[in-house]
Amino acid sequence: MKKFDKILFLACGLLITLAAFPVVAQENAELNKKPLLDFAVLLNQKIADKKVDLTKPFSVEVKGVLTKEGKLNPKTAKFAKSEGDAEMIKVGKSFIEAINDSGLFGYLSMLGVDKINFALSQDEKQVTAIIKSEVATAERAKTNASGFNIMLRVAQMQIKNEDDKLLLSYFNVIANDKNFVINFVAPQEAIQKLVEKNLEKLPTKASSK
């Protein structure tokens, strides 16, 4: 798989998981889909049991260094911010942990990323996910950001599913010194509808496989 195919896969993977689609990039064996599926199923169960309200505001942020395997180093990673509804904070943290366990951050590692800062938040108006990734040089950051945005535009032209197209439209990537920053900003109501729509297709118990 070429370099920017990896970038596109990461973008689509994050978009899909943000919308609670449990299966991403099925043809790629390097991704462990089970943590993502289990996250979505457990979230579905909490909603069914009325233990969580997806409309509640929250904000979580994790900072850490990636290992050679492309996962957050448990010795250095920490949640630097946790604010808002207690149950939605748990959901946000579990979501980030599921992404980490799935291996999705490994694709950032392939792009030369060492340190990341992942902030996820929601208020009454919008859902925001920001991943700030540090690379060796400002030029590398610009190259990664440019490649990301090109592939996102190409994907918008090629993807037929309207939900996926809508999600892609909420994505933007910029370079800031040695960081390339992946921004996802979407209306809260639109994301809630997509989450509920896709959770309806899932069981309320995680698989044991």
Which two three-digit tokens encode residue 117? 């800062």
Weakest-pLDDT range from 6-10, 70-74, 85-89: 6-10
**149 vs 144: CA distance, rounded Å:** 9
Tell me: the pLDDT tens digits for 95-106? 899 889 988 888
Tell me: the pLDDT tens digits for 6-59? 555 555 555 545 543 333 333 444 678 788 888 888 888 888 888 998 889 999
Tell me: the pLDDT tens digits for 123-146? 989 999 999 999 999 999 999 899
Q: pTM of the entire structure?
A: 0.81
Phi and psi at residue 13, in whole multiples of 5°?
Answer: -60, -45
Tell me: the pLDDT tens digits for 160-207? 778 778 888 888 899 999 999 999 998 988 887 877 777 676 666 655
Nearest Cα to Cα of residue 15 among 176, 194, 197: 194
pLDDT of residue 26: 38
